[in-house]
Amino acid sequence: MYDKEQTKILQKQTTEWLTSINAINSKEFIPGNIESLRDILRFHENRYYVQTDPLISDYEYDSLYKLLEKFEKEEPSLVTENSPTQRVGKGLVSNFPKVQHLVPMLSLENSYNAADLLDWDRKARELSGLPEIEYCVEPKFDGASISMIYDNNHLNRSATRGDGVVGDEITLNTRQIKSVPLTAKFSEYGIEQIEIRGEVLINKSNFKKYNDKLIEEGIPPFANPRNSAAGSLRIKDTAEVSRRNLEAFLYHVSYISNTDDRQPQTHSAMLDMLWNLGFRSPKKEMVVVKGIDKVIQQVEEFEGRRDELPYEIDGMVVKVNDLQLQDRFGMTSHHPRWAIAFKFKARQATSKLLSVEFQVGRTGAVTPVAKIAAVLVGGVTVTSISIHNEEYIKEKNLMLNDTILIERSGDVIPQIVKSFEELRDGNEKPIQFPTHCPVCGDLLFKPEEEAVWRCININCAAQVVERIIHFVSKDAMDIKSFGEANVRKFYELGLIKDVPGIYELDFEAVGKLDGFGKKSLDNLQAAISNSKMQPLHRLIYGLGIRYVGETTAKTLANFVNHLLEFTNYSEEQLQALEDVGIKVAASIYRFFKDAENLAMLQKLEQLGVSLKNQKKQVAINDLLAGQTFLFTGTLSQLKRTDAETMVEENGGKILGGVSSKLNYLVVGDDAGSKLEKAKKIQTIKIISEEDFIKMLPT
């Protein structure tokens, strides 16, 4: 619809409008410009809704939209029928059947700070004539919106948002979402037909698992859970949709065919109704408060807890609770007047791609890493981003000097969303891939079916160092105080040459190095020694067997009593395990047939590293059977969740709080009220982390 040249011009004009927005606000309005502003907004609506490839942030779009609204208000005679303020965005392209929503799916007005909310509340109070309004505050789920129609208690049809009027029919796909009931007793509320709105998401841990799997397979991951949820709804293979573990929150009823006094009168009661009928509504996540001050308090509190939630939210939605009042407020052509979104700080930002470094990983894979102009995204300064492989660079059409859009969602590593081709000025240069290993100089190799170039010199210094770094890392053997910097330093000084070398480290020599006092040396020694008893799945993951991520490592660990049992398994037997396909099985098989690998494992065992499945063993001994535990404060050597697993693996139980039923309170640093409470109960034994570790089998 818009060609390259038009895009370039419109984007340039957008920048001009945005940069002069403050000046314009205080300047006299020039009528000639209003149509240009409309063109710009139409263009960005097309980018957002049709191409799903926006060029500006929501905030920037809103500022332009508000400006147009302001102009039109000042001069109502200039409002045209097809102004973006007078309609919902039109014209989606895709190959799903198109269906019309019973009620248009409008978007929400956005707010970004307390002042915006105060302003909105003031207008709402004026409109209602009330001194104070009751609001419902709930998360703004960051996924893909859906609309579902139930007829006579049965899910009849569901659709994507589309352009707001017409969407894609995706009933079969929503039937795969476990939290969407296929039947619900709406008849108990006297409802024959109902249209419900909600958001489909992938929770953070499923998203991470899915992305890890893609990365293990050398496929570039999704930039954020929203993209993968939206993408998953448009897959034609329902079995694959089901495997993606989608979830849905239902938060709005847009249409009910017939009224009945059994039906809810408030939004919060509507959420209760949905919940009672088996839907996942945000009943537990929402709060009802009176007055805007409490709303502001709530949204700020939620923003602080944003990262603790299992799914992504990009803000909060504030809704007038009384449904009759909602009706009285009504809608503009763009959004309801009874609700407003409060957007959290953006986790997207634009930057410049300055250069590309090529890093060699533990499997010899050469990964291009983009060095970018430092930029703050969601509170973290980003200066480099993995750009995965040669194909990815081509797919995203990345060039040196490009302006790029980056995103960091939650605990996910930053990703390049796109490059702005329309902003190129001729100074861009192609990214050249090396032919030789940047570390050892060997010729690089790429099997035809793979996307990744590799250095196949197994003794390449980069690979050895990366293997050790991976082995000691947090998710693997978690040897604290043995971070990346120490591994590199020890390797350079010849103090460590391979993974078993960790357990033969010459502490006397380390003690002579700068920065190693007695305390840090003691910590290092204790951490290395404790790691010998890490659960088997951590060791397996730490070995860095290709395609074996944390999930597969756990499957493998549960399968044997001793790691070396794998030397007896055939590829077919390995394939029978959950999550283990042909490629993964072949890789595991090869690993355990390799003489050097076996020698390394034997050496680790000689040095005291447990190759046993301790869980299976202790289940027989039940060392802590009948004993109850609780952890408080920050532990220094164990992860809290691991420590709890250890208790359970050894037959003990974790309690939820301090009570006379508790046998052991394990106290870490900065322990608080639990410790105080436990001190008052004579029978509770208060022990340190070291004491706890000593209780476990060696």
Q: Is 680 a catalytic residue?
A: no
**Nearest approach, Cβ of 445 to ligand IVH (angstroms)?**
47
Site string for ligand IVH, 195-234 (x = CB under 6 A): --x-x-----------------------------------
Piece of the chain touching ligand IVH by CB under 6 A; list 39-47, 101-109, 607-615, 623-631:
101-109
Q: Looking at 133, 148, 317, 643, which residue binds ligand IVH (CB under 6 A)?
A: 317
**Nearest approach, Cβ of 37 to ligand IVH (angstroms)?**
22
**Binding of ligand IVH by 589 (CB under 6 A):** no
Contact criterion met (CB below 8 Å) for 109 and 120 = yes
Judged by CB, which is closer to ligand IVH: 252, or 280? 252
**Binding of ligand IVH by 339 (CB under 6 A):** yes
**Nearest approach, Cβ of 61 to ligand IVH (angstroms)?**
11
Which is it for the CA torsion 617, 620, 621, 622, positive or negative? positive
Spatial neighbors of 457 by CB under 8 A, at least 6 apart, are: 364, 437, 440, 442, 463
Contact criterion met (CB below 8 Å) for 208 and 222 = no
Name residue, tokens 């055939």. 570
CA 56 to the chain's CA centroid: 22
Q: Looking at 138, 402, 644, 689, which residue binds ligand IVH (CB under 6 A)?
A: 138
Is residue 610 exposed (0-12), middle (13-18) or buried (19+ Cβ within 10 Å)?
A: buried
Tell me how far CA of residue 180 lies from CA of 12, 139, 222, 644, in angstroms. 44, 19, 24, 33
Total number of residues shown for the chain:
698
The DSSP output letter for 636 is S
Find, among 670, 678, 89, 634, the residue nearest to 335 by Cα. Answer: 89
Judged by CB, which is closer to ligand IVH: 252, or 615? 252
Where b means 16+ CB within 10 Å and e means fewer, 359-390 reads: ebbbbbbbebebebeebebbeeebebbbbbbb
Q: Which two tokens stand for residue 32?
A: 């000639």
**Binding of ligand IVH by 531 (CB under 6 A):** no
**Nearest approach, Cβ of 143 to ligand IVH (angstroms)?**
7
Piece of the chain touching ligand IVH by CB under 6 A; list 23-31, 128-136, 336-344, 357-365:
336-344
Phi/psi for 453 (5° steps) reads -85, 140
Judged by CB, which is closer to ligand IVH: 167, or 542? 167
**Nearest approach, Cβ of 335 to ligand IVH (angstroms)?**
7
Contact criterion met (CB below 8 Å) for 389 and 205 = no
Q: Which of 90, 140, 343, 612 is catalytic?
A: 140
Judged by CB, which is closer to ligand IVH: 324, or 606? 324
Is residue 267 exposed (0-12), middle (13-18) or buried (19+ Cβ within 10 Å)?
A: buried
Site string for ligand IVH, 535-574 (x = CB under 6 A): ----------------------------------------
Question: Count residues contacting ligand IVH (CB under 6 A)?
Answer: 15
**Nearest approach, Cβ of 651 to ligand IVH (angstroms)?**
44
Q: Looking at 170, 201, 289, 341, which residue binds ligand IVH (CB under 6 A)?
A: 341
Q: Looking at 71, 251, 541, 566, which residue binds ligand IVH (CB under 6 A)?
A: 251
Q: Looking at 252, 306, 408, 554, which residue binds ligand IVH (CB under 6 A)?
A: 252
Name residue, tokens 């309690």. 655
**Nearest approach, Cβ of 199 to ligand IVH (angstroms)?**
5
Phi/psi for 672 (5° steps) reads -115, -125
Judged by CB, which is closer to ligand IVH: 162, or 336? 336
- Helix, strand or coil, per DSSP, at residue 338: coil
Judged by CB, which is closer to ligand IVH: 207, or 482? 207
Site string for ligand IVH, 102-131 (x = CB under 6 A): ----xxx-----------------------
Phi/psi for 120 (5° steps) reads -65, -40
**Nearest approach, Cβ of 562 to ligand IVH (angstroms)?**
50
Piece of the chain touching ligand IVH by CB under 6 A; list 137-145, 402-410, 433-441, 446-454:
137-145
Site for ligand IVH in 363-392 (CB under 6 A): none
Judged by CB, which is closer to ligand IVH: 140, or 554? 140
Is residue 211 exposed (0-12), middle (13-18) or buried (19+ Cβ within 10 Å)?
A: buried
Judged by CB, which is closer to ligand IVH: 121, or 466? 121
Judged by CB, which is closer to ligand IVH: 138, or 649? 138
Where b means 16+ CB within 10 Å and e means fewer, 176-206 reads: bbeebbeebebeebebeebbbbbbbbbbbeb
- The residue with its CB nearest to ligand IVH is 145
Judged by CB, which is closer to ligand IVH: 88, or 539? 88
**Binding of ligand IVH by 646 (CB under 6 A):** no
**Nearest approach, Cβ of 83 to ligand IVH (angstroms)?**
20
**Pairing, β 193-201 against β 247-256:** antiparallel
Judged by CB, which is closer to ligand IVH: 317, or 462? 317
Distance between CA atoms of 684 and 675, rounded to whole angstroms? 10
**Binding of ligand IVH by 145 (CB under 6 A):** yes
Geometric angle at alpha carbon 579, from 573 and 585, rounded to 5° = 40
Name residue, tokens 């570039």. 220
Contact criterion met (CB below 8 Å) for 440 and 455 = yes
Strands (E), 309-414: 313-320, 339-343, 348-360, 366-377, 380-386, 403-407
**Nearest approach, Cβ of 339 to ligand IVH (angstroms)?**
6
**Nearest approach, Cβ of 400 to ligand IVH (angstroms)?**
35
Indicate which residues carry an active-site annotation. 140
Residues near ligand IVH (CB under 6 A)? 106-108, 138, 140-141, 145, 197, 199, 251-252, 317, 336, 339, 341
